[in-house]
Amino acid sequence: MTPTATESGTLALGNELTVRRLGFGAMRITGHGVWGEPTDPKQAKAVLRRALELGVNLIDTANSYGPEVSENLIAEALHPYPDELVIATKGGFTRPGPGRWEPDGRPEALKEACEGSLRRLKVDRIDLYQHHTVDPKVPYEESIGALKELQDEGKIRLIGVSNVSCDQLSKAREIVEVVSVQNRYNLTHRHSEDVLKACDNEGLGFIPWFPLAVGRLARPGGPLDEIAEAHGATPGQIALAWLLQSSKVMLPIPGTSSLAHLEENVAAAGIELTDDEFDTISRISS
């Protein structure tokens, strides 16, 4: 039987949108350096369609992926969208070139970014719009205020934030209802533990970006390698299983441009670590 994303359970974002707790990150369907068109656009669209077939109903993207390429491919592959599909996108970065990212949290820039995403995704309202990063040159309240205005205009349904501290999350929540946080978090990078705890306490979705990093923890003969072997899995699959069991609000969004890797990632939703395995991984990664 083909594993599906449904085995990981669900989470209701803002008590409105129910998503399965293993989504798809659409950054890697673009070109090298998250820049330009993919080498094989047909394959990229096939990956998107297969994700839905496997039960994934949360796709995360951003206007800066390409830039614009990822959103265009999603619309080309999946529009008109099935009712259960939640598309999350982001604004707040500009792209001067391949591999280069510059924050732009000016209200006018965020509003322009959102309007562009609406056009490319071919929707009247974005399910989940996330402020992509804090811009040190712009008061955070002004950036979040722009998203609130867009929500009041009916162009955004739910709002999320990304790359934030606990203080910044609190500040955003004073201005608007925040339903999710997207921070870097994985086995080898757990600096957002305090933000995850805050999300857990408040019932906010926590979307870890770069979730598959395992680094030296996957060395042959090491604990992670042994646990993966016991489950007939890869270290990356065990890393995803560990994330899913770490918190009830965890929403990993592993991305790939490969159908085989997509199948592998989704299959991780069906892996259940024992308490001893979970504790072992937690110790070696902390």
| Cis peptide upstream of residue 67 (ω within 30 degrees of 0) | yes
pLDDT tens per residue across span 7-55 = 669 999 999 999 999 999 999 999 999 999 999 999 999 999 999 999 9
User: Per the domain annotation, does 278 fall within a domain?
Assistant: no
Place of tokens 């990229």: 44
User: Per the domain annotation, does 240 fall within a domain?
Assistant: no
Question: What is the rounded average pLDDT for all residues in the chain?
Answer: 95
pLDDT tens per residue across span 235-277 = 999 999 999 999 999 999 999 999 999 999 999 999 999 999 9
* 3-state SS class at 12: strand
User: Per the domain annotation, does 135 fall within a domain?
Assistant: yes
If you average pLDDT over residues 66-70, what whole number do you get?
98
pTM of the model: 0.95
Could you list the residue range(s) of the whole structural domain that residue 175 is in? 5-212+247-256
Q: Which of 65, 129, 140, 185 is catalytic?
A: 65
Predicted confidence (pLDDT) at residue 215 exceeds the cutoff of 80: no
Residue 216, pLDDT score: 77
65 given a catalytic annotation: yes
User: Per the domain annotation, does 84 fall within a domain?
Assistant: yes
User: Per the domain annotation, does 235 fall within a domain?
Assistant: no
